[in-house]
Chains A and B, each alone.
Chain A
């Protein structure tokens, strides 16, 4: 099966165009909104790494996103850590959580795997509700943004956006590299036929755990970045509805594609924000779109577009 999107000559103009749009965007749209899109796009991409490459449906990704947001927020606010250190502390927390939860969860498959990840994520939610430093339902607010490398003030929305964009591009490059490395090939092999991969001598669980930890760490990176950008970490970040909404973003955009989760996040975050003062019932609109997506274009927005292009190319050949 051919679902690898190597950066061949054909896709380079496309990548450059996307990059140009990303650089020009903050001058046309509201930078803080775009920063939010990037954070959720990274979160969805991290989730997609697990679901797309390993077929592991984690229903508790908000735990890594939220835990990292709390840790990054707390280290920056209470201990005065610089921006980079706070982000790293958040990522490390998410990776450690991912290692523990993944170790337990990958022993089961399908719905059981999903339920175990959900249960463990709920534990994180209740910890966030009860631990003294999280501020319970009032949330952890007034997180200072600090400076990048001690030089550039992150309170400037443009600095904030471009810093986030840089982090985002690095993370996406890492995800792309991972899925197209020998490691990624092994994950695909395990996804497509696990017993066969095992019979070839691969320790399936070890590879799955590695992918799980990587996905959790990247979700943590998104969460930490969001906490600094929005100056807050709250229960919403660890709530199961956030886990649900990242699944929605990934499926809407296109499962297993590089750009799918990004497009999905863009659509959902845009709806949430720009419908907020429109008077329309937002959840109903998003729900309807999701149902239409499931009924009419199951491969998601990017998935359908790719399939369409492939069909056309097939005809031309």
Chain B
């Protein structure tokens, strides 16, 4: 093939990729799960998310209107430039229609940018920044399905009056920790509470003793750990070792937010911790059925992100089926019209800025004596309606809705 032919082919494919697609392009539906398959986020998303996406595809028998559904998996290694390279290659060469998961907000923002330029769909599930429906929002290209930092802070905030008056924060020293601290702090003050102190712990701290001792000395009623992942497990372990819970102080561990994470921290350590979650297996028969199926396949309970990824992919595929199209604008419009009722939530709606609004729950981690089975780890103590938990469009600052 001559270079001129090649150039022509490149130009033709570039035009194809940018023109609006009125039907399912390329005779198949391809969804790429771009996630962390080898690093610190693997447990909560990673291979579990890939499996969850496959489970959603299987509910259609692997075919939509006679066209095969294919699930691809990619490891962004928590490097945004790797994420961008893979996403570009998926969109241009492999003709992927939608990318999902995107744990790690930096990768999420970068890939969303690519998807906007190439007019593809992004189903943000494991990424948490509230800016995805704020200043970076892309209502025609993306949905933000599971949670965001605003909702996490707001959820705890709504539970403030029942928890205690005096609060102490141990926050991870980066934007995520600061965002949570800001949101929870505002809620505490609004409820007439008081923040008696706060410390910032560097990301990746292993020895939390000095921070925990300060929290203990503050005589606060509630100690909020505004951190995630291993930091959450380590800080709660330190609090347990220094007897904070035994001394009557309550621990709110915002990062211990999935069944596998609680199990790896152990009930003995995490017991009586409180957190806000977007999913719990007890809330519906669908949820329990999904959990059972997931355990059969993965030998572990699903994390919240896994269920959410399943739900996002499922609803995306339903919309593709209904509209017989993979054009982002057409599919997302259909998704907004259809209420979400599945294993993730029984009453969810997709808002026009891309936020999926659903109920969230305040849960308490059970004592070892209360747990009846391997995955019986938590109980719901309050349900927070979606409209109260998520940020209203008017406050988000999404450029598409501010005139």
A residues with a Cβ closer than 8 A to B are 27, 30, 32-33, 36, 129, 136-139, 141-142, 155, 158, 226, 230-232, 234-237, 272-273, 275-277, 279, 281-284
The reply to whether A138 and B75 form a contact with Cβ atoms under 8 Å apart is no
| The residue from A30, A231, A272 contacting B93, defined by CB atoms under 8 A apart | A30
Residue of A nearest to B132 (CB): A138
Are A276 and B106 in contact, CB atoms less than 8 angstroms apart?
A: no
A137 to B228, CA, bound (A): 14
B74 touches A276 (CB 8 A): yes
- A283 B77 Cβ-Cβ under 8 A: yes
Question: A-side binding surface: helix, strand, loop or mixed?
Answer: helix
Q: Is B176 an interface residue (CB 8 A)?
A: yes
In Å, the complex CA distance between A273 and B79 comes to 11
Structural contact, A142 and B113, CB atoms closer than 8 A: yes
Question: Is residue B73 contacting chain A, with contact meaning CB distance below 8 A?
Answer: yes
7 A-B pairs with the lowest CB-CB distances in the bound complex, closest first: A136-B175, A139-B106, A277-B74, A141-B109, A234-B80, A236-B79, A234-B106
Query: Chain B CB within 10 Å — which of A136, A226, A236, A279 has the most?
Result: A236
Q: Does B88 sit within 8 A of A, measured CB to CB?
A: yes
The residues of B that contact A36 with a CB separation of less than 8 Å are: 81, 85
**Are A282 and B77 touching (Cβ within 8 A)?**
yes
Secondary structure dominating the interface of B: helix
Nearest Cβ in chain B — how far from A60, in angstroms?
18
Q: Which of B3, B72, B117 contacts A27 (CB 8 A)?
A: B3
- A residues near B89, Cβ cutoff 8 Å: 30, 32-33, 273
Are the C-beta atoms of B109 and A139 separated by less than 8 Å?
A: yes
Nearest-Cβ distance from residue A66 to partner chain B, whole angstroms: 11
- With contact pairs A32-B88, A137-B105 given, residues A232 and B77 touching in the complex (Cβ less than 8 Å): no
- A276-B74, A277-B74 are contacts. A236–B38 as well, Cβ < 8 Å? no
* B interface residues, Cβ below 8 angstroms from A: 3, 6-7, 10, 32, 37-38, 72-82, 84-86, 88-90, 92-93, 105-106, 109-110, 113, 117, 129, 131, 136, 174-176
Residues of B within 8 A of A281 (CB): 37-38
- Cα distance A282–B109 in the bound complex, in angstroms: 23
Contacting residue for A141 out of B74, B86, B113, B174, CB 8 A: B113
Instruction: Assess the A137–B176 pair: CB atoms within 8 A.
Output: yes
**Known interface pairs A226-B81, A276-B74; A137-B174 also in contact (CB < 8 Å):** yes
The distance in angstroms between the C-alpha atoms of A36 and B84, with both chains bound, is 11
Chain B residues near A284: list those with CB within 8 A.
Answer: 38
Q: List the A residue with the shortest CB-CB distance to B32.
A: A277
The answer to whether A136 touches B174, judged by C-beta atoms less than 8 angstroms apart, is: yes
A141 and B72 contacting across the interface, CB-CB below 8 Å: no
What residues of A have a CB within 8 angstroms of the CB of B84 in the complex? 230-232
- How far is B131's CA from A272's CA once the two chains are assembled, in angstroms? 29
Taking a contact as CB atoms under 8 Å apart, the answer to whether B105 and A138 are in contact is: yes
Q: Tell me how far the C-beta of A27 lies from the nearest C-beta in chain B, rounded to whole angstroms.
A: 5
Specify which chain A residues have a CB less than 8 angstroms from the CB of B73 in the assembled complex: 277, 279
A282 CA to B76 CA, complexed, in Å:
10
Give A279 to B38 CA distance when docked, in angstroms.
Answer: 10
**CB distance A277 to B72 under 8 Å?**
yes
Say whether, besides A36-B85, A272-B82, A232 and B38 are in contact (CB < 8 Å): no
Chosen A-B contacts, 21 in total, with CB atoms closer than 8 Å, are: A27-B3, A27-B7, A30-B93, A32-B85, A32-B88, A36-B81, A36-B85, A136-B175, A137-B175, A138-B105, A141-B80, A142-B109, A155-B117, A230-B81, A231-B110, A232-B109, A236-B79, A236-B106, A273-B89, A276-B76, A277-B72
